[in-house]
Structure 1
Amino acid sequence: MHLRNAELFCDVVIHGSFSKAAEVRRVSQSAASQAVHTLEKRLGTQLIDRSKRPFELTPAGEIYFDGCQQLLQSFEDVEEQVRSAVGKTKNRVRIAAIYSVGLAQMHEYVEQFQELYPDVSVSLDYLHPDEVYQRICENQADLGLVSFPKEDKELTSILWQEQPLVLVVPPDHRLSDRVSCSVSEIEDEPFVAFTAELVVRQKIDRWLKKAGVHPQVVHEFDNIENIKRAVEAEAGIAILPLPTVDKEVQDQSLNVVHLEQIEWSRPIGIIQRKQKSTPDAVSKFIELLHEDPANFSIARRESTEVSASKSENSPDNDAFSFGPLIARE
């Protein structure tokens, strides 16, 4: 059996499309179809029921898909073991994150990680949620950061943050001088919302409906930055995760009003492909994500002070040398 055919078969199943799998693997659609046909001919049974729309796996296809997934993961593990044996481990961490995680916040994590582990390369891409899941499923990213992580038998998820949702208004809005308000006070208000396909929009709609509140949606955007700009332009109000508007609140271009007697929040999860082992560099980055970035600047400042002290107390002055404050690996 050709491993390439197994990879193509798994991609077809994961994406639910021959054309999408072909696009991912950079082959023609006919090549993807032929790969599956070759497997079916070899096994003497149908793996995919193409008569249904969307297509479905046959019972034999489900068994074969699970087996191929395990086989491909084992093959990847063996390659990693060989790299480790010859000292060529993957010193990289590839991160795919939704836009609203925040460039400034993630920059602090990346900067701190690269200071701790200078030999590890880190790449960070901001993407639409669907693209984050795609990168993880296709092994093009080591970990993903998404809101309301969905259940998937091929993925694992760890809660990273629980971000409270707040009302965001322009400075001249009638509620702008309020610390808090009842959710009923936004009835019929012009509302800037997320687009309907995003889970956060579906959650907010459900919560508002349960509260018996019906704001008037005037604009829809698929990212928080555009929503904030629309609110700043006084197009309407919005409900957003509190950490995503820190800068605008500091700049006084937006005001935050807390919603009374409700606890709406947006969970941010760290997602990965299910695998027997996680590369050491990736594990260390996940550990760092659970630390408070406010401590990073303190550590860097103390490290700088130690370096300055070492410079002042050189061997010519018969001073001893301090060890590194931050361990490096």
Structure 2
Amino acid sequence: MHLKDVEIFCEVAARRSFSKAAEAHGLSQSTASHAVGSLEKRLGTLLIDRSKRPLELTGAGQVYFDGCRDLLASIRSVEDQVQQFSDRLSGRLCVTAIYSVGLLEVESAIDCFMQSHPDVDVRLEYRTPDGVYQSVLNNESHFGIVSFPRDGGDIDCIPWQSQKMVVAVGPDHRFATREEVSVAELAGERLVTFDSNLAARKQIDRWLRDADVEMTVLREFDNVETIKRSVEIGSGAAILPEPLLKREIASGSLAAVPLSDAHWYRPLGFIHRRNQALVIAAQRLIELLCSDDFVDIEPPAAVGVAG
């Protein structure tokens, strides 16, 4: 049994896709398919039902996936223990993050990390909030980065940042020239906000409800960038993390107005499986992200799902 084939199979099983698994490993789709086929030939049974879309595991495939996933986790744990005797880190480090976390901040830290640890292959993938949690629970990622992190059950959380929430408005909005506004002044304003199933939206609704303020929901989107573009053209106001508005503030396309009587923050955190120690490479990358060098870097233009 080739360990690489097992890794590829587990990736296909987790993602329910040969193409996505191949992309994650930097391989061609045919190579990924051949790896799974080799395992099926050796075992004498099909592991994946290729007639279904998305792909589905057979009964044998589910048993094999559960066992191999635990096997790979054990191997990585042993390798990590061995690496403690050396200053040189190596291996693969998988990180999954929500899009709105601040792309430049995370990617700059990873570039710096890889310069210091060239033998570590860091794979960064962006997903929806639920997708980040699922990738961690499925052992597809060593850790994830989310907002309003849930800490409990099979998930453990390491706090990272608290981003101040402000009122984002277009340059012609009546709040644009104000130094600050009160929460009560938001009553009746048209709100451009996140989809109702996202944690950020649920928290915004909770804040407004606690303040006994009702805003008129004008539009709902699943990503920060679309919300900002909608507000730029004069479609009401939004309540967003201030660090994600730096580019627009600098260009004058949006104004970020602080709240005078509320302290609302969006927490960011690192999540990983409870009772499963982070590998050393993951610990080092988190330490780097928490350092002063990678705080409040201006985010680039990118479409991202909120969380």
Same fold (TM over 0.5): yes
Q: Give the secondary-structure state (helix, strand or coil) at the position aligned to 2:292.
A: coil
Indicate if the aligned counterparts of 1:22 and 1:31 stay in contact, CA closer than 8 A. Answer: no
C-alpha displacement of 1:92: 2.4
Aligned residue number for residue 291 of structure 1: 291
C-alpha displacement of 1:89: 7.5
Cα–Cα, structure 1 residues 85 and 175, in superposed 2: closer, same or farther, change >3 Å?
closer
| Structure 1 residue 263 corresponds to structure 2 residue 263 | yes
C-alpha displacement of 1:34: 9.5
Q: Give the secondary-structure state (helix, strand or coil) at the position aligned to 1:256.
A: strand
| Structure 1 residue 225 corresponds to structure 2 residue 225 | yes
Give the distance between the partners of 2:124 and 2:201, measured in 1 at CA: 25
Aligned residue number for residue 173 of structure 2: 173
Q: Give the secondary-structure state (helix, strand or coil) at the position aligned to 2:48.
A: coil
C-alpha displacement of 1:174: 0.6
C-alpha displacement of 1:227: 0.6
Cα–Cα, structure 1 residues 33 and 235, in superposed 2: closer, same or farther, change >3 Å?
farther
- The residue type paired with residue 77 of structure 1 is S
Aligned residue number for residue 81 of structure 1: 78
Cα–Cα, structure 1 residues 149 and 173, in superposed 2: closer, same or farther, change >3 Å?
same
C-alpha displacement of 1:172: 1.0
Point out which structure has higher relative CO (alpha carbons under 8 A, 6+ apart).
Answer: 2
Give the distance between the partners of 2:289 and 2:115, measured in 1 at CA: 14
C-alpha displacement of 1:210: 1.5
Aligned residue number for residue 58 of structure 2: 31
Q: Give the secondary-structure state (helix, strand or coil) at the position aligned to 1:277.
A: coil
Cα–Cα, structure 1 residues 32 and 23, in superposed 2: closer, same or farther, change >3 Å?
farther
C-alpha displacement of 1:24: 7.9
Greater displacement, 126-135 / 115-124: 115-124
- Deviation string 1:188-210 (CA, Å, 9 cap, x unpaired) is 11110100001111111111112
Cα–Cα, structure 1 residues 150 and 80, in superposed 2: closer, same or farther, change >3 Å?
closer
Give the distance between the partners of 1:167 and 1:174, measured in 2 at CA: 12
Q: Give the secondary-structure state (helix, strand or coil) at the position aligned to 1:293.
A: helix
Cα–Cα, structure 1 residues 126 and 254, in superposed 2: closer, same or farther, change >3 Å?
same
C-alpha displacement of 1:156: 1.1
Aligned residue number for residue 305 of structure 2: none
Cα–Cα, structure 1 residues 219 and 119, in superposed 2: closer, same or farther, change >3 Å?
same
Give the distance between the partners of 1:75 and 1:30, measured in 2 at CA: 18
For these two proteins, the number of residue pairs brought into alignment is 247
Structure 1: tracts of 5 or more residues without a match: 1-10, 12-19, 37-67, 298-329
Indicate if the aligned counterparts of 2:48 and 2:61 stay in contact, CA closer than 8 A. Answer: no
Aligned residue number for residue 254 of structure 1: 254
- The residue type paired with residue 285 of structure 1 is L
Indicate if the aligned counterparts of 1:21 and 1:32 stay in contact, CA closer than 8 A. Answer: no
Give the distance between the partners of 2:97 and 2:57, measured in 1 at CA: 33
Aligned residue number for residue 215 of structure 1: 215
Cα–Cα, structure 1 residues 30 and 133, in superposed 2: closer, same or farther, change >3 Å?
closer
Aligned residue number for residue 117 of structure 1: 117
Give the distance between the partners of 2:230 and 2:79, measured in 1 at CA: 53
Cα–Cα, structure 1 residues 35 and 174, in superposed 2: closer, same or farther, change >3 Å?
closer
Give the distance between the partners of 2:126 and 2:75, measured in 1 at CA: 31
Give the distance between the partners of 2:163 and 2:114, measured in 1 at CA: 26
Structure 2: tracts of 5 or more residues without a match: 1-9, 19-46, 50-55, 298-307
Indicate if the aligned counterparts of 1:154 and 1:274 stay in contact, CA closer than 8 A. Answer: yes
Aligned residue number for residue 186 of structure 1: 186
- Deviation string 1:55-78 (CA, Å, 9 cap, x unpaired) is xxxxxxxxxxxxx99x96577224
C-alpha displacement of 1:21: 7.6
- Deviation string 1:248-296 (CA, Å, 9 cap, x unpaired) is 111111101001111111110100112443221111101111101269x
Indicate if the aligned counterparts of 1:192 and 1:217 stay in contact, CA closer than 8 A. Answer: yes
Give the distance between the partners of 2:57 and 2:134, measured in 1 at CA: 22
C-alpha displacement of 1:101: 0.8
Cα–Cα, structure 1 residues 30 and 225, in superposed 2: closer, same or farther, change >3 Å?
closer
Q: Give the secondary-structure state (helix, strand or coil) at the position aligned to 2:253.
A: coil
Aligned residue number for residue 201 of structure 1: 201
What TM-score, normalized to structure 2?
Answer: 0.71
Give the distance between the partners of 1:129 and 1:116, measured in 2 at CA: 30
C-alpha displacement of 1:31: 2.5
Cα–Cα, structure 1 residues 32 and 133, in superposed 2: closer, same or farther, change >3 Å?
farther
- The residue type paired with residue 150 of structure 2 is K
Aligned residue number for residue 146 of structure 2: 146
C-alpha displacement of 1:108: 1.8
The 5 Å alignment of 1:147-166 reads: 147-166=147-166
C-alpha displacement of 1:128: 0.8
Aligned-residue RMSD, C-alpha: 3.2
Indicate if the aligned counterparts of 1:249 and 1:255 stay in contact, CA closer than 8 A. Answer: yes
Aligned-residue identity in percent: 36
